Chain A
């Protein structure tokens, strides 16, 4: 009986795994036009807690997803408040009392002269605190220095981060502990393209669908097995 229970659980894990993969592909497809979006890849990991294969593994396959932070090509837009990062680095955005990393995007002047992204998150300075700009002509230098009509008024922070920081929010303590990225360059009037490839995502969707189908077949196989057992034993009694 133990083995059969394992079969059913494995089938369920296969079904759920396929579903989770479709979610990931859906998030990627949705953001195919979002500047500086970094795609997620999903992978399955099976950790058996015993090397003895005579008993079914108790651990079920788990689906993880990670962000692919590879640089994608920058495209020229010529707009003064479009920012992109060339190299490994992130802008720090403040959302209320939480912080998030961003690879750049289309910014605007928000309340009180702050620089905000389309979701209203405020760009942070290298020394901490919101960046505030005036109504003059704004220039960003590659090291993050902000010039208004030619004179420096502040500096955009470019920080180092990793995949675990990107795509989630962080506390102020974590944000202030970020190190500055020495080799990343800020580019004004440029946007980084989303690194989603539609064809890859469509293949991923198909693969996930087949995975779910095979999970369903496993459930049916289990069902047939059980059915056979029940009919055999009821006949013999």
Chain B
């Protein structure tokens, strides 16, 4: 069978996956804290490792070699989105590369880039989705407002305008972006066995905590559109290759008439 069929099919599949990744990015352009997926193409080589004998070399030349392209997507977690002021003082964002660690069910660890804080029934600070912060900050019932310092220190203001320090929100960072996985519900979780480096905010480039701010998505609209056009053209060209391979087979089929 003609290798161009397989190569073309692999190419169509890779380009389709790439288009899907870009579509997902574009549809999340207004999702706070969304991290875009970057697409990467790598050549897949089907070249035999140094044929040893002359016979093997000739055999390798005589058979058609497949190969093609592989699409790999990577989420750009370390690229921060733009920080925008929000209407609520319970919104926090991280101005840096760190994450806030959350306690997830079944002993998992979720990573959070910030968003809307709330207080759960037990009085602990929780993230969206109701997951408590690993730093376990207990908010007293009589607190009227919370003040979060850039270094993560949480201060409760009571009606008598007393300031009570409740604790400090710590930031974490996995050793590598490859340790971050997407979990259900748009949350991020750490891979099994991944080691987290815990620091106070501002240490080790983890960044500061910004109260009353929301992190926008890091999707670049114009870049995504251009990428989409380029991918579409490559997709069409791959389809042409398959058509050419098909015509070849048709010629071969019509040899005997």
- The reply to whether the CB of A30 lies closer than 8 angstroms to some CB of chain B is yes
A209 & B248 in contact (Cβ 8 Å cutoff):
yes
A19 & B43 in contact (Cβ 8 Å cutoff):
no
B255 & A23 in contact (Cβ 8 Å cutoff):
no
B252 & A15 in contact (Cβ 8 Å cutoff):
yes
A216 & B251 in contact (Cβ 8 Å cutoff):
yes
Give the residue name and chain of the B residue nearest to A35 (CB).
Answer: B41
A105 & B42 in contact (Cβ 8 Å cutoff):
yes
Q: Mark A168-183, 1 if CB is under 8 A from B, else 0.
A: 1111001000000000
User: Which residues of B line the A interface, CB within 8 A?
Assistant: 2-4, 7-8, 10-11, 14-15, 38, 40-45, 47-50, 61, 64-65, 67-70, 72, 74, 173, 175-178, 197, 204-205, 230-231, 233-234, 237-238, 240-241, 244-245, 247-248, 251-252, 254-255, 257
Closest CB in chain A relative to B17 CB, distance in Å: 13
Give the residue name and chain of the A residue nearest to B45 (CB).
Answer: A167
User: Which residues of A line the B interface, CB within 8 A?
Assistant: 15, 18-20, 22-23, 25-27, 29-35, 37, 62-64, 98, 100, 105-106, 108-111, 113, 117-119, 135-137, 167-171, 174, 198, 201-202, 205, 208-209, 212-213, 216, 219-220
Q: What residues of chain B lie closer than 8 Å to A119, measured between beta carbons?
A: 42, 44, 70, 72
Closest CB in chain A relative to B229 CB, distance in Å: 12
A34 & B4 in contact (Cβ 8 Å cutoff):
no
Closest CB in chain B relative to A57 CB, distance in Å: 18
A110 & B247 in contact (Cβ 8 Å cutoff):
no
Q: What residues of chain B lie closer than 8 Å to A106, measured between beta carbons?
A: 38, 40
B237 & A31 in contact (Cβ 8 Å cutoff):
no
